[in-house]
Chain A
Amino acid sequence: MQRYAMGIDFGSTTAKVVILDAEGEVAGSAISQKGAVSDEGVRVAQAEALQQAGITQADVARVVSTGYGRRMLDIADRTITEITCHARGAVALVPEARVVIDIGGQDSKVIAIDANGLVARFAMNDRCAAGTGKFLEVLARAVNIELEQMGGIALAATETVNITSMCATFAETEVISLLAEGVTKPVVLAAVHQSIANRTVGLVARVGKRDPVVMTGGVAQNVAAVHYLQKALDTQLIIPDGAQLAGALGAALFALDDLQLDDAERRKVQQGDDDLDDLAAPQSCAPACAAKQAKPIVFKPHATTTAQPTEATHGRA
């Protein structure tokens, strides 16, 4: 019987699921727009992914969860942080990736990948939401525009202003002032995206910028964010197909690794086992994981993905 591996990325704003077959090919995937505030999002995403794969949950032999709500899922066999999973997923999608930028709903992270495809360093935003999807949400509200339209409108700007506030709340006040002074929406939105780019550049500096740079996470779908980030970093961003699924893909790959261990070894990598003596067994196929990428990752289209064209190269595997 075929054994499948499932990765669940239970984020703050979206839930994502990827199912891999025993050969590491994508059998199904899904993105649901409800995040960690309830379990509905996970259930919907799980159902859709299983349906796409043409299997049932019983066929899934191993589940790894990641993301903000990773510890809330009974169904997970173990949890791994989104940093490790995004890195794994991004490298699976773009094997030569050296830096991964993931800007999600609540946090933004930059990960430096070493020559073996492993996490070398990472930096995350601290308590502040500036530079994250949340920032965009707050400001979309202030400008009275749908979040999905922000990017397109921002790109239409022909001049620039500066939003100096590092804080999302203060930025909101600044935005309102600018609009009151008669600055047009495109210009204001451009400034907002420029601001995010600036914050991200700071995080990139902390881990050290190296090309190629891959971008994952929800904000990768925002054309203006990508545009300004590329400008600020002076580099072409690679946004692979399925970028938003990178975390879930990484989790699924870890689940697949576990399936390849024998039962005893698998128990040792079970959640909560930090004992160094037990960990003498291979944690996962880490150093060899780059070699494991025999099959290219191809996602089937889903109804719930927002598939906007971006300026950057995409569709690479």
Chain B
Amino acid sequence: MSTVLESGAPLVKKANRLQSTKLNNKMVNAYWEDLFRAKEQGKLVCWTEGIQLNPILQAADIAWCHGEAAAALLAARKESAAPQAHMETLGYDRELCSYARTHIGCGVMNQASTVEAQTLLDVDARTLGSRIPEPDMIISAYPFCSTGQQWDNELYRTFGKKVPIYNISMDWVWGNKGSSAYMSGPEYREKVAFLKRQLEDCVRFIEGITGKRYDWDRLSEIMTYTKRAAELRLEAMKLCKARPSPASFFEWTNSIAPVNFLPGGPEIVHYFEQKKAEIEARIAQGIGTVPVEKYRLWWDGIMNWNKIGWLSDKFAGYDACMVAGRYTHMGFWQEPQVIDVRDPLDGMAQNYLTCPISISAPQVIDKIVEHCEFYEIDGLILHAARTCRAFSYPQHMIADAVGKRLGLPVAMFEGDMVDESFYKDEMVNSRVEAMLEAIDASRARRR
């Protein structure tokens, strides 16, 4: 493996980022600016995390703050330290989910009137975290991860139990019987039906707060755009089977917003049309997202939001393209075909229950193996986010399976979504390099 270059000026290899990602950034900025002004605009605000509940809220003209998105934003803008520090002062342990710590920290900063803020904290109203408008309602809909559900309820307590909260129970499909399979079987159908009933009841909760009849037609309209955007996104992703890959996991990470928390409308469809077109153009010209593609890798685990750009360039420097990953390729409206836009709740419920942390480990492993075969992956990066147990728990088993079934080497290291103190550069470097050496060695053996 030659990342060591010949004498002379060192060549810094950087990722060749898609132009269309800029459009994503524009839309994301506009979304946040809009949210910061929501109260001025007389809008109600909902705080929620986990699944993409936003189409349901958007149809009722409610603005939303998606917790993970807020935490990721702060991490990317290097502003996550403040809310995290406030939380530590209050006694929340650092091993607790860093998304929760960051987001609740925002809640704490927002609550200038709380006893905590007055006596202990030095809240700077100009910082990003404290600009997020306080909620008029909290809707909890967290699949699999009990910490997420507890996070929502901790927010409820942070706001003095004065903000109405609606708790949706997202059942985990264990698959007790042989009749259980991915997206089928009586257990699955029963749990989808239960979730759908709760979503309907949640709409009644929303009506209770807005005082207006829910606009189901509007939901259908929003879901039409969302479904189309999701389809285009999946098509564009599949095109990355090409060699060299025209886009990387890091770019897909940078465009989760349109299928995660941006409003559903023509813009998100347009975004993925652009993205797909740019990808098709690159394929036609044989342009890859990294200057030299010697290795095709899979990123397993949740993303490290503090370091996307940096990681992207790091792997470009290793002549490695991170082609795909569990977080992006197995989540966020990943099964759009089951959504009937005229009556979308069932299809939405199915998507919610099949997100990557909500399916069982055997199914996760099967899907990863499928993807690795499809994208012709040479090795896996397993980013074990220390405070996200929901995502990291199956990683030893994933490593085991891809080793046994596909003969692929892995590089595993600890990190975190938004708390960079858990991440150690040196360890990452040595493990990644060891893996790339293993790939080289196995290629040499095959010749």
- What residues of B have a CB within 8 angstroms of the CB of A177 in the complex? 426
**Bound complex: CA A174 to CA B428 (Å):** 13
Q: Contacts A164-B420, A166-B421 given: A173-B89 contact, CB under 8 Å?
A: no
**Bound complex: CA A166 to CA B120 (Å):** 24
Within the complex, the shortest CB–CB distance from B290 to chain A, in Å, comes to 25
B423 touching A164 by the CB < 8 A rule?
yes
Q: Contacts A164-B420, A164-B421, A166-B421 given: A174-B426 contact, CB under 8 Å?
A: yes
**Bound complex: CA A174 to CA B421 (Å):** 12
Within the complex, the shortest CB–CB distance from A72 to chain B, in Å, comes to 34
B88 touching A170 by the CB < 8 A rule?
no
A202 touching B426 by the CB < 8 A rule?
no
B420's nearest neighbour on chain A, judged by CB, is A164
Question: Is A205 engaged at the interface, CB distance under 8 Å to the other chain?
Answer: yes
- What residues of A have a CB within 8 angstroms of the CB of B10 in the complex? none
- What residues of A have a CB within 8 angstroms of the CB of B426 in the complex? 173-174, 177
Q: Contacts A173-B426, A177-B426 given: A206-B91 contact, CB under 8 Å?
A: yes
B-facing residues in A154-197 (Cβ within 8 Å) = 164-166, 170, 173-174, 177
**Bound complex: CA A205 to CA B423 (Å):** 24
Q: How many positions in chain A have a CB within 8 Å of any CB in the partner chain?
A: 11
Within the complex, the shortest CB–CB distance from B304 to chain A, in Å, comes to 13
Q: How many positions in chain B have a CB within 8 Å of any CB in the partner chain?
A: 9
Question: Is B213 engaged at the interface, CB distance under 8 Å to the other chain?
Answer: no
Within the complex, the shortest CB–CB distance from B201 to chain A, in Å, comes to 42
A205 touching B424 by the CB < 8 A rule?
no
- What residues of A have a CB within 8 angstroms of the CB of B91 in the complex? 206
Within the complex, the shortest CB–CB distance from B50 to chain A, in Å, comes to 29
Within the complex, the shortest CB–CB distance from B275 to chain A, in Å, comes to 35
Within the complex, the shortest CB–CB distance from B349 to chain A, in Å, comes to 41
B88 touching A165 by the CB < 8 A rule?
no
Residue in contact with B89 in the complex, picked from A165, A170, A174, A205, CB distance below 8 Å: A205
A205 touching B88 by the CB < 8 A rule?
yes
**Bound complex: CA A185 to CA B4 (Å):** 27
**Bound complex: CA A101 to CA B280 (Å):** 63
- What residues of A have a CB within 8 angstroms of the CB of B421 in the complex? 164-166
- What residues of B have a CB within 8 angstroms of the CB of A202 in the complex? 88
1/0 contact string of B409-444 vs chain A (CB within 8 Å): 000000000001101101000000000000000000
Within the complex, the shortest CB–CB distance from A13 to chain B, in Å, comes to 28
- What residues of A have a CB within 8 angstroms of the CB of B424 in the complex? 164-165, 170, 174
- What residues of A have a CB within 8 angstroms of the CB of B89 in the complex? 205
**Bound complex: CA A171 to CA B227 (Å):** 48
B86's nearest neighbour on chain A, judged by CB, is A205
Within the complex, the shortest CB–CB distance from B223 to chain A, in Å, comes to 43
**Bound complex: CA A258 to CA B267 (Å):** 80
1/0 contact string of A189-217 vs chain B (CB within 8 Å): 00000000000001001101000000000
- What residues of B have a CB within 8 angstroms of the CB of A174 in the complex? 424, 426
Which B positions have Cβ atoms within 8 angstroms of A? 88-89, 91, 120, 420-421, 423-424, 426
Which A positions have Cβ atoms within 8 angstroms of B? 164-166, 170, 173-174, 177, 202, 205-206, 208
Nearest 8 interchain pairs by C-beta: A205-B89, A164-B421, A177-B426, A202-B88, A173-B426, A205-B88, A166-B421, A170-B424
Given contacts A170-B424, A208-B120, 7 further A-B contacts (CB under 8 A): A164-B421, A165-B421, A174-B426, A202-B88, A205-B88, A205-B120, A206-B91
